[in-house]
Structure 1
Amino acid sequence: MKAIKRVIVFLTLLAIPLFLAGCESKLLVFDPKGPIARSLTDLIIYSIVFMLIIVVVIFVLFSVIVWKYRARKDDGDFEPKYEKGNHVLEIIWFTIPVIIVIALMIPTVMTIYEVEEVPQAYKEEEPLVVHVTSADWKWIFSYPDQDIETVNYLNIPADHPVLLKMTSAGTMQSFWVPELNGQKYTMANMETKMYLVSDKPGSFYGRNTNFNGQGYAHMEFEVQAMSKNDFNEWVDEVKRTANDLTEDEYAELLKPTIIGRKTYNQTHLQWIDHAHGGSEKYLNPELYRLHHGDDEESTEEVVDEEENKETNTVEEHDTEESHEDHAHH
């Protein structure tokens, strides 16, 4: 009886952090807002339930065996007799894990292939193409058809497929919008693709989930899903009000700094597509060098420069948001 009580106490203690975690914040991965994220959430829930059943069965069997074969006072000098291995049981113990792996593998593989394509309901629609370029420590979004480029925010039409062509200007990073899709890496000199669909208008949180330096924690962005009319109005607003992106300005963007939101007419694709190489033309390795000992002040200067640039972009950030609000309304 004591063994069963200990198991119950252990499970209770294990459950407490889970309940407290649920009270602290919203689990975005379990709150999908699009068909792609919904497929991934269903897979996660299926895996959790399936593995939970296995864990419950194991704990029940463990408790029964511990109780049934426990040592008793009346055992005396009892010694169990030697028994040769049972081939039937050995086959069963081997087969059960294989079945478990297959039961998890089949839906996982099917879902992975499913989310790599345009969702079935949007097969007939032409996706909006957006090039995603990760840099230290910011996200750059290029709209080649609209000839617009944004930094640290992505506006998309709701209820419409979006094709993301992703690469990195330098270090490997990870793109993730938990309410809309899964996670995928961005890497220099190559291109990864991902589809994005939001059922309804809304604002969604995105970030880099791959550690890549001291500015990693600030590498967040917003995905704003708009009605198609609002999206077209936003494009027109940018065309009228945003400055043109120059190559010198783009070189400044690629420096390892923390900045706010920015919006430009024209895209950097007219000079370079980092998926096909050439990033070394815009990157200065000295800005990434770590200094030690007497040179520690140099590192502090880089951090101070980043903080100053972040402060200087606050006003521009607010201006961009006012333009977006104007276009939205």
Structure 2
Amino acid sequence: MDPHGPTTAAERQILLNSVVIMLCIIVPVIAATLLVAWWYREGNRQACYRPEWTYSGKVEIVIWGIPAMVIMLLGGIAWIGSHELDPARALDSRKTPLNVEVVALDWKWLFIYPDQGLASVNRLVVPVGRPVSLKITSATVMNSFFVPQLAGQIYAMSGMTTRLHMLANRQGQFQGLSAQFSGDGFSGMRFNVDAVETAEFDGWISSVRQGGRALDAAGYAELARPSPNVQPVTFGNVASGLFDNIIHTTTTMTQEDAALGICRGVSSISNERL
């Protein structure tokens, strides 16, 4: 309910419109229920008792017509909104989108900036007013990427790529999280989205390139190990094609590896219940 981007602002408007439309039925029904109970109370001698009454065309029109109109109106809002807010649909902007590749790990988020050749963990830095085009996957069990104030929720699945576009229209720090339970470290699988001015973003890029360590095959293998509550870290040099290699690796996993991953998730759920 506190949007800071065009997508979430549109989602809030759809929610508010839907609530108002449904209140057009809920409020009169509640009022009519109380009125009928009051009018047909035992002490009201003016209430007319009609035991033989069976049908009224006017009542039937009201009972079926108004709800049908409301359903069609809500359906139209949902239909139009679902197409306009398609996660894979690029946002209308004159600025070139910033490409970011997102990988869900146990239990952290890896953000790769392919055009800049760097990466960060559990921190996504974006320029204000510039669209961000996200390609999302998972290197482990299914997960869910969610930044409530900037973008809708979308799933991250191993061997697959989902798309999401978002834009921050003001400076600030916005919390992102995983909305899909994925094991013991799920509760700490959070990250910050820092929306900064373009000059500050360019400065951050330069500082990461100068001070960040390299994310090669060995570095990724170390990073991919399950670890909860990971603090943000940056990588100034990322191996070319890392995101595609992650997708290819998870696609060609053996059935035994996939079964182990599923069992680990099931075991975590069982432990939580115990």
Structure 1 position 288 matched with structure 2 position 264: yes
CA deviation after TM superposition for structure 1 residue 167, in Å: 1.2
Q: 1:69 to 1:251 in 2, by over 3 A?
A: same
Give the whole-Å Cα distance in 2 for the aligned partners of 1:196 and 1:289. Answer: 30
Aligned pairs (5 A) from 1:117-136: 117-120=89-92, 122=93, 124-136=94-106
Give the whole-Å Cα distance in 2 for the aligned partners of 1:63 and 1:33. Answer: 41
CA deviation after TM superposition for structure 1 residue 236, in Å: 1.0
Give the whole-Å Cα distance in 1 for the aligned partners of 2:267 and 2:247. Answer: 32
Give the whole-Å Cα distance in 2 for the aligned partners of 1:278 and 1:290. Answer: 22
Q: Which residue of 2 aligns with 1:162?
A: 132
Structure 1 position 57 matched with structure 2 position 33: no
3-state SS of 1:130 partner: strand
CA deviation after TM superposition for structure 1 residue 119, in Å: 3.4
CA contact (8 A) 2:183 2:265 kept: no
Q: Give the unaligned 5+ runs of structure 1.
A: 1-29, 293-298, 300-329
- Counterpart among 141, 144, 166 of residue 196 in structure 1: 166
Q: Which residue of 1 aligns with 2:13?
A: 42
Q: Which residue of 2 aligns with 1:150?
A: 120
Corresponding residue pairs, total = 259
CA contact (8 A) 2:185 2:227 kept: yes
Q: Give the unaligned 5+ runs of structure 2.
A: none
CA deviation after TM superposition for structure 1 residue 256, in Å: 2.3
CA contact (8 A) 1:168 1:274 kept: no
Give the whole-Å Cα distance in 2 for the aligned partners of 1:133 and 1:203. Answer: 21
Give the whole-Å Cα distance in 1 for the aligned partners of 2:141 and 2:43. Answer: 63
Instruction: Letter of the 1:261 partner, please give it.
Output: P
Give the whole-Å Cα distance in 2 for the aligned partners of 1:81 and 1:290. Answer: 60
Task: Give the ranges of 4+ consecutive aligned residues of structure 1 lying more than 4 Å apart after TM superposition.
Answer: 289-292
- Counterpart among 233, 236, 239 of residue 203 in structure 2: 233
Give the whole-Å Cα distance in 1 for the aligned partners of 2:174 and 2:16. Answer: 21
CA contact (8 A) 2:137 2:247 kept: no
Per-residue CA shift, 1:137-180, capped at 9, x if unaligned? 11111111001111101001111111011111122211111111
Give the whole-Å Cα distance in 1 for the aligned partners of 2:242 and 2:119. Answer: 13
- Counterpart among 81, 87, 107 of residue 137 in structure 1: 107
Q: Judge which range, 111-120 or 57-66, deviates more.
A: 111-120
Give the whole-Å Cα distance in 1 for the aligned partners of 2:242 and 2:6. Answer: 35
User: Identity, % of aligned pairs?
Assistant: 29
CA deviation after TM superposition for structure 1 residue 114, in Å: 2.0
CA deviation after TM superposition for structure 1 residue 209, in Å: 1.3
Q: Judge which range, 52-61 or 213-222, deviates more.
A: 52-61
Give the whole-Å Cα distance in 2 for the aligned partners of 1:86 and 1:54. Answer: 20
- Counterpart among 55, 74, 79 of residue 104 in structure 1: 74
Give the whole-Å Cα distance in 2 for the aligned partners of 1:160 and 1:73. Answer: 67
Q: Which residue of 2 aligns with 1:175?
A: 145
Q: Which residue of 2 aligns with 1:69?
A: 40
Q: 1:74 to 1:41 in 2, by over 3 A?
A: closer
3-state SS of 2:65 partner: helix
Which structure's relative contact order is higher, taking Cα pairs within 8 Å and 6+ residues apart?
2
CA contact (8 A) 1:190 1:275 kept: no
Per-residue CA shift, 1:59-96, capped at 9, x if unaligned? 10111111112334879xx9742233345533432232
More helix by share: 1
Per-residue CA shift, 1:223-281, capped at 9, x if unaligned? 01111111111111111111111212212222222122121133366245278442238
Q: Which residue of 2 aligns with 1:184?
A: 154
Structure 1 position 246 matched with structure 2 position 222: no
Q: Which residue of 1 aligns with 2:193?
A: 223
CA deviation after TM superposition for structure 1 residue 128, in Å: 0.6
Superposition TM-score, scaled by structure 2 size: 0.84
Instruction: Letter of the 2:119 partner, please give it.
Output: E
CA contact (8 A) 2:182 2:265 kept: no
Give the whole-Å Cα distance in 1 for the aligned partners of 2:265 and 2:53. Answer: 66
Q: 1:261 to 1:90 in 2, by over 3 A?
A: same
More strand by share: 2
3-state SS of 1:129 partner: strand
Superposition TM-score, scaled by structure 1 size: 0.71
Give the whole-Å Cα distance in 1 for the aligned partners of 2:20 and 2:245. Answer: 42
CA contact (8 A) 1:189 1:274 kept: no
Instruction: Letter of the 1:57 partner, please give it.
Output: P
3-state SS of 2:33 partner: helix
Q: 1:204 to 1:50 in 2, by over 3 A?
A: same
Q: Judge which range, 138-147 or 208-217, deviates more.
A: 208-217
Aligned pairs (5 A) from 1:254-265: 254-258=224-228, 259-265=230-236
Give the whole-Å Cα distance in 1 for the aligned partners of 2:62 and 2:239. Answer: 60
Give the whole-Å Cα distance in 1 for the aligned partners of 2:164 and 2:266. Answer: 34
